[in-house]
Structure 1
Amino acid sequence: MEKNKVQFITKTALIAAAYAALTLSFSFISYREVQFRIAEILVLFVFIEPKYATGLVLGCILANLPSPLGVIDVIVGPFATLVAILFIIAIRKTVGYSKNSLIIASFGPVIANAFIVGWELYYLFQTPLWMNALYVGIGEFVVVTVVGTVVVSSMMKNQRFIEKLSI
């Protein structure tokens, strides 16, 4: 197997494991109506390296297998993650690679999860969609936009580290 394929598989597995481990480690705030899923910071890694998308979606699937919301969360959660990732990649391609475009890209996970996971919670608990979207959106905003952009923009300043992240 050539070096690039091994590197891709290894980094994909590491990202998936990191996402799942972070979600499960903080399970008390990772599921339900009000959630602060710390692992969502990793979604911004696709801004640096789009090939991390596969690992992030797989990680979300693994993290949602033991979800108290059931099998629907294994489908809906990764779908929201995929939509968020596609938004981030599109922003990176159209706006460019900068701290400002990273901030704009961070709104993809906020919006995707607010509405998609918000709908899931509406479906499961029959609670108002707007309330679910608001709660999920606030959690995503705090984790991804406030904390995640600080973490990832700090990483972006270290060119050696960025080279290590690339696949």
Structure 2
Amino acid sequence: MKNKNLLFTVQAAMIAAIYVVLTLIFAPISFGEIQVRIAEALTILPLFTPAAIPGLFIGCLIGNIVGGAILPDIIFGSLATLIGAVGTYFLRHKTPYLAPLPPIIANILIVPYVLRLAYGVNLPIPFMMMTVGIGEIISCFGLGLIVYFALRKYRDVIFTPHFN
């Protein structure tokens, strides 16, 4: 049991760290009303391990803090990623093509209001829903499914505990 908890913690920490690094490396396109957050490709990982849920949330939280986001964005942007990760986890027994939908929907519904209310972006909400949605589709469907198909054949090696 102790080793399973350690594995869960290590997986969550690694996912969080990768999310932060990707967010910061691609910072110019990770923030704003038109954004493609490459790190959102990792929202496919709850299909492999429940440790991805806290990992994605903490990674987004830290990425937003270090990336210079303001408090409402740190809170609600990170919650959008958490909601998306939980939704993806619940779809783990379905086709992988449905898995990107929860993070896409959560971000479409939350991020435009954060941009409007927290940052004062004066673009129409439907337009920002569209731009955030396009970015999420690129990240979650496009890149996320590439991540999924690259990792699925190694699922047992990477995500399953091998303790003696």
How many residues end up aligned between the 2 structures? 159
Within 5 Å, which residues of 2 pair with 1:58-69? 58-69=58-69
1:13-54: CA deviation from partner (whole Å, max 9, x where unpaired)? 111111001100110110011111111111100011122101
CA distance in structure 2 between the aligned counterparts of 1:56 and 1:117, rounded to whole angstroms: 16
1:161 CA drift (Å): 4.1
CA distance in structure 2 between the aligned counterparts of 1:150 and 1:162, rounded to whole angstroms: 18
Contact between 1:37 and 1:143, CA under 8 Å: does it hold in 2? Answer: yes
What TM-score comes out, normalization by structure 1 length?
0.87
Q: Residues 3 and 72 (structure 1 numbering): CA distance in 2 closer, same or farther, change over 3 Å?
A: same
Unaligned runs of 5+ in 2: none
- Percentage of identical aligned residues: 31
Within 5 Å, which residues of 2 pair with 1:8-157? 8-92=8-92, 96-97=93-94, 101-123=95-117, 124=119, 125-156=121-152
1:110 CA drift (Å): 1.2
1:69 CA drift (Å): 3.7
What TM-score comes out, normalization by structure 2 length?
0.89
CA distance in structure 1 between the aligned counterparts of 2:83 and 2:104, rounded to whole angstroms: 11
Unaligned runs of 5+ in 1: none
